[in-house]
Amino acid sequence: MDIVGGWSIDMEFGIYRIPIRIFNPETEISVIKNCLFDTCFSGYLGLDKETINFLNLKKSGTGKGFTVQGFIEFENYEGYVEIIDNEEKSLVDISNIDELDSNLDKRIIPIQDFKIPIIGIKLIRQVSWMILSEQDAIFILR
């Protein structure tokens, strides 16, 4: 296995921020966000309302869930997502692993309306990761 990308921990907050490019599938307009790496978030990607509005993402429905703050409701949107390196080169295209209809575009993933950019377990588990605690860094392997 080779290391294809890596990032240092944000020492101030003790978190990893992973650069993600999000596309509107209809317009191909894109934006790059540094997203919180969070294995406790069960979705693919959460974005702030400003980014969702800037990209003019298509709304695909609503959802409900429980968090540490209690019961929440959220809106879902559709987009393409890829993990990129620090030079903005694509490293990994993310797929919709929940979609069972083989006729639908697997690149379209649900994006949830959150207050911060965050990647969750459905995105994280599509990639081989290595965390080196002695270097305070996270890497993508291929």
Phi/psi for 74 (5° steps) reads -145, 165
Residue 47 lies in a domain: yes
Give the mean pLDDT of 6-31.
96
Residue 12 lies in a domain: no
pLDDT computed for residue 136 by the predictor: 94
Residue 141 lies in a domain: no
0.85 surpassed by pTM:
yes
Q: Give me the domain span that covers residue 73.
A: 21-127
Mean pLDDT, the chain, integer: 92
Residue 114 lies in a domain: yes
Residue 4 lies in a domain: no
Instruction: Give Cβ neighbours of residue 64 (< 8 Å, ≥ 6 apart).
Output: 71, 72, 73, 74
pLDDT computed for residue 72 by the predictor: 77
Reference 112, options 88, 83, 137, 81; nearest CA is: 81
Residue 106 lies in a domain: yes
Domain containing 96 — which CATH number?
Answer: 2.40.70
pLDDT computed for residue 60 by the predictor: 93
Q: How many folded domains does the chain comprise? A: 1
- CA distances (Å), origin 18, targets 83, 92, 93, 110, 134: 7, 12, 14, 18, 19
pLDDT computed for residue 1 by the predictor: 85
Under the banding of pLDDT at 50, 70 and 90, the label for residue 64 is: confident
Residue 34 lies in a domain: yes
Residue 99 lies in a domain: yes
